[in-house]
A and B are shown apart, each in its own frame.
Chain A
Amino acid sequence: MQFGESWRRVRDGERPMVPIIVALIALWIIFGAMSPTFWTPGNLVNLTMQSVSTGIVALGVVLALLIGQIDLSVGAIGGLAAALVAVTSMSMGWPLALSVVLGLLVGAAVGTLYGVLIARAGLPGFVLTLAGLLIITGLQWNTLGSAGSINLPFDSWLVQFSQTAFVPQWLAWVLVALLTLGVAAGRVVTRHRRQAADLPAESVPAILVWTLLVAVAVGVPVAYLGQDRGIGWAVVLFLALVWGTDVALRRTRWGRGIRAVGGNRTAARLAGMPVRWLVVTACLACSTLAALGGVLAAGRLAAANQSTGGGEVFLMAIAAAVVGGASLYGGRGSAWSAFVGILVIQSIANGLTLLDLDAATRNIVTGAALVLAVTIDTALSRRRNPVTAANSF
């Protein structure tokens, strides 16, 4: 492909990941130069582990944004789920697995309620989830009771999974090899099918380059993080969720429907898409992921308290989704937006902490990054559709 054409695609937002990855690398170089600790394997392992819970919440936010909605209560849902897990497993003696399932089900129920109210009654998601944020935070505090904080034992699998469970290095390398082979095989098969169907197909060198890129992108972190504790199982879970969501969005009728509803709701309805069902399922998936993120956050803290999922969690999750390229105008973004976005947000937080800068500076810098991301988002939307982008806010 010509360089000019590649540049046009980046400029028009058809390759949304490219500028974000460039920004991420720039951030890492800057922080690395300012604080030598940033680049140590130990710190980067921390960075990945810190990213998991909010990243999973951000993945849910991406789904809500794709259908043109937003969920402001994702943090609160996570907090309520964490509180329920703590209370049922610690105070009521339920098996932990059952408690976690209950937490996820409550998240799913909240999402379903949102979805039905948005799709059936036509309520605006922004205000609905703002009300939900207040109500759910109240429920979370009630659930926790007067204690306000419940500790989880360090030997519970939830805490270990979120803190200390790492993939053995040999297994990590096996996974890298399988992944690389899988990518190569997938591309070769696609190439053959496209050639058989008389369509333009990827050249063999391009497949080799891509395979090599994937091998490097996965292999280098495994090798580097392996010098410390390695890749956490929680990180593997996050990546698996992102990958699964990505496949669902790109290759299933459900995912196509989600993107269509976000792009043009009327067109999707005229095409026979079950618009209401799609809105409900997107909200359901968003809240369930938010609940999972909250439970994992409690696991990482080894406690559920009133501030679990509170404060800036939902802001960081939404910021991560938008920084990662999910559009506030709906219809644009991918599952990988959540992954790259949370890496940017957490890198800023992590790097500034290493520089001994306080939470105030962190908030200001994160806010500035968000403004930049929204500016790019709006510019791209305007380029596409001058009328709607100008009028929707």
Chain B
Amino acid sequence: MTATVSLRGVSKNFGAVQALIDVDLEIRSGEVLAVVGDNGAGKSTLMSVASGSTTVSTGVLSIDGAPVKFASPADARRHGIVASPQQLALCDNLDVVENLYLGHETTGRMGLMDEVQMEHNARELLDSLAAKIPDVRVPVHALSGGQRRSVSIARALLGSPRVILLDEPTNALGVRQTAQILTLIGRLRARGHAVVLASHSITDVLAVADRIVVMRLGRLVAEYQAASTTVEELLGAITGATTTLNTGSNPTVSTGAMSAVNLSRHTADGAHNAIR
């Protein structure tokens, strides 16, 4: 399979802080790629570099083998890459259709908006995603967290992008709503989109991803096939307990002990997420 988007040696620093260091990554169509890592590991920076929100310091981003530079998220959108941000960008006072089409409304006769056409398309899009939104004319403030997330993701899909970047899509959602979003991510893959999913939740990632990459301290430290990995293996890679990359030549007893502490904390987090 050829890569839709590839990153070669991408680094990003904010002043003295190295947020991304020499990252190589391939994003492929029809595949859910999960990016996992601890807070500050560089997941969000990776997402914003790919979505055009921030520019790369060094390295090359290419689409179908051709190098590109994104000046803005709109630029990335034109190249078929969209992001559904962690902070939901919805207007509470507008209804579902109005939010979906905000900024690219369909206009009909005399410059008036074609509400019927927009509502029809919105209904079709949401149904194709199996999003459970019974009435598309209720204001978004009346929706549940999962429904709002669905609207936000559906919004990203309107321009038929090739790559969809989801940053923590199941954050702060309940069990049923999380399941809804994971189903929706499966639908996205079935529609042939490339999905990149950044998440804290190992259980969610294992449930839906095809391929998992692990980031730690700005580096991409490991890559797994979701089918052949385990929670323990991933946690080890996230905390640095099992991977041999970047640990230096002489691992000492004290780092091992620290990793063990981290590991237990993460196991607790993972369990917590699973319960949520």
> Which of B102, B115, B138 neighbours the largest number of chain A CB atoms within 10 Å of its CB?
B102
Minimal Cβ-Cβ distance residue in B for A193: B116
- Which size bracket describes the interface of A in this complex? 20 to 34
CB-defined A-B contacts under 8 Å, sample of 16: A194-B116, A197-B120, A198-B120, A198-B123, A251-B113, A252-B111, A253-B111, A256-B98, A259-B94, A260-B98, A264-B91, A267-B90, A267-B102, A271-B102, A331-B93, A384-B141
Contact (Cβ within 8 A) B98 A264: no
**Which residues from A are CB-within-8-Å of B268?**
none
Minimal Cβ-Cβ distance residue in B for A8: B142
CB distance from A188 to the nearest CB of B (A): 13
Known: A199-B116, A251-B113. 5 other contacts (CB 8 A): A256-B94, A263-B94, A264-B93, A266-B89, A267-B102
With the chains together, A273 CA to B105 CA distance in Å? 11
Interface residues of B in 113-165 (CB under 8 A from A): 113, 115-117, 119-120, 123, 138-139, 141-142
Contact (Cβ within 8 A) B93 A12: no
Contact (Cβ within 8 A) B116 A252: no
Selected from B74, B91, B107, B111, the residue in CB contact (under 8 A) with A260 is B91
- Confirm or deny: B104 has a beta carbon within 8 angstroms of a beta carbon on chain A: yes
Minimal Cβ-Cβ distance residue in B for A267: B89
Known contacts being A251-B112, A252-B112, A264-B90, is A385 close to B141, with CB within 8 Å?
yes
- Confirm or deny: A262 has a beta carbon within 8 angstroms of a beta carbon on chain B: yes
CB distance from B102 to the nearest CB of A (A): 4
Minimal Cβ-Cβ distance residue in B for A192: B116
- Confirm or deny: A171 has a beta carbon within 8 angstroms of a beta carbon on chain B: no
CB distance from A380 to the nearest CB of B (A): 10
Contact (Cβ within 8 A) A263 B89: no
Known contacts being A252-B113, A263-B93, is A199 close to B103, with CB within 8 Å?
no
- Confirm or deny: A96 has a beta carbon within 8 angstroms of a beta carbon on chain B: no
Contact (Cβ within 8 A) B139 A273: no
**Which residues from A are CB-within-8-Å of B142?**
12
With the chains together, A193 CA to B118 CA distance in Å? 12
**Which residues from A are CB-within-8-Å of B98?**
256, 259-260
Minimal Cβ-Cβ distance residue in B for A388: B92
The 8 A-B residue pairs with the shortest CB-CB distance, nearest first, are: A271-B103, A263-B91, A263-B93, A331-B93, A272-B103, A197-B120, A267-B89, A271-B102
- Confirm or deny: A156 has a beta carbon within 8 angstroms of a beta carbon on chain B: no
With the chains together, A126 CA to B56 CA distance in Å? 41
- Confirm or deny: A218 has a beta carbon within 8 angstroms of a beta carbon on chain B: no
- Hey, what's the 0/1 contact readout for A1-42 against B, CB within 8 Å counting as 1? 000000000001010000000000000000000000000000
> Which of B107, B138, B139 neighbours the largest number of chain A CB atoms within 10 Å of its CB?
B139
Minimal Cβ-Cβ distance residue in B for A247: B112
Known contacts being A252-B111, A263-B92, A267-B91, is A14 close to B104, with CB within 8 Å?
no
With the chains together, A331 CA to B104 CA distance in Å? 19
CB distance from B117 to the nearest CB of A (A): 7
> Which of A194, A267, A271 neighbours the largest number of chain B CB atoms within 10 Å of its CB?
A267
Contact (Cβ within 8 A) B91 A199: no
**Which residues from B are CB-within-8-Å of A256?**
94, 98, 102, 105, 113
Contact (Cβ within 8 A) A14 B139: yes
**Which residues from B are CB-within-8-Å of A194?**
116, 119
With the chains together, A302 CA to B102 CA distance in Å? 46
Contact (Cβ within 8 A) B119 A332: no
With the chains together, A262 CA to B120 CA distance in Å? 26
CB distance from B51 to the nearest CB of A (A): 11
- Confirm or deny: A212 has a beta carbon within 8 angstroms of a beta carbon on chain B: no
Selected from A14, A193, A198, A331, the residue in CB contact (under 8 A) with B91 is A331
Contact (Cβ within 8 A) B103 A273: yes
- Confirm or deny: A268 has a beta carbon within 8 angstroms of a beta carbon on chain B: yes
CB distance from B118 to the nearest CB of A (A): 10
CB distance from A363 to the nearest CB of B (A): 32
With the chains together, A267 CA to B103 CA distance in Å? 10
CB distance from B82 to the nearest CB of A (A): 11
CB distance from B97 to the nearest CB of A (A): 10
Interface residues of B in 59-110 (CB under 8 A from A): 73-74, 85, 89-94, 98, 102-105, 107
